[in-house]
């Protein structure tokens, strides 16, 4: 609302109710707004109190799930790392085995063909 609209509303109230009733109406309006704020604060406080147990339970469940997921993830990571290390170790042994196989087959005097 603009300033002129508020001025028109005040003038209409003055004309309808008179200047002597204006302070009483302002007091009543202020008391009504104060009571309304108090009621909304009470409702908000009651809702927070009634849901605090639920929120605590939800936080406990969330923490438990996070811990379980972290444990599972750590176990999977450990198993994958162990498998990767085994594969790397086996792959590193392949060239050595291949070299020794080549060496064995390239030495013609190593085997006895007189059977």
What would the pLDDT profile of 10-57 be if each residue is shown by its tens digit? 888 888 887 788 788 888 889 999 999 999 999 999 998 888 888 899
Q: Which residues span the domain enclosing 18?
A: 9-106
The answer to whether residue 49 sits within a structural domain is yes
The answer to whether residue 3 sits within a structural domain is no
- pLDDT > 70: percent of the chain: 80
Number of domain units in the chain = 1
Residues 6 or more apart from 81 whose CB is under 8 A from it? none
pLDDT at 113 over 60: no
Region at 18 (left for phi over 0; alpha for psi -120 to 50; beta for the rest): left
Q: What is the pLDDT of residue 74?
A: 94
């Amino acid at each position: 609302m603009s300033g002129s609209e508020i001025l028109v509303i005040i003038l209409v109230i003055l004309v309808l109710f008179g200047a002597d009733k204006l302070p009483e109406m302002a007091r009543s309006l202020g008391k009504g707004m104060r009571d309304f704020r108090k009621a909304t604060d009470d409702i908000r406080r009651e809702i927070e109190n009634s849901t605090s147990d639920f929120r605590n339970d939800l936080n406990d469940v969330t923490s438990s799930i996070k811990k379980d997921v972290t444990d599972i993830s750590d176990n999977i990571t450990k198993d994958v790392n162990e498998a990767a290390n085994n594969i790397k170790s086996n792959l590193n042994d392949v060239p050595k085995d291949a070299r020794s196989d080549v060496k064995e087959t390239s030495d013609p005097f190593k085997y006895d063909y007189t059977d």
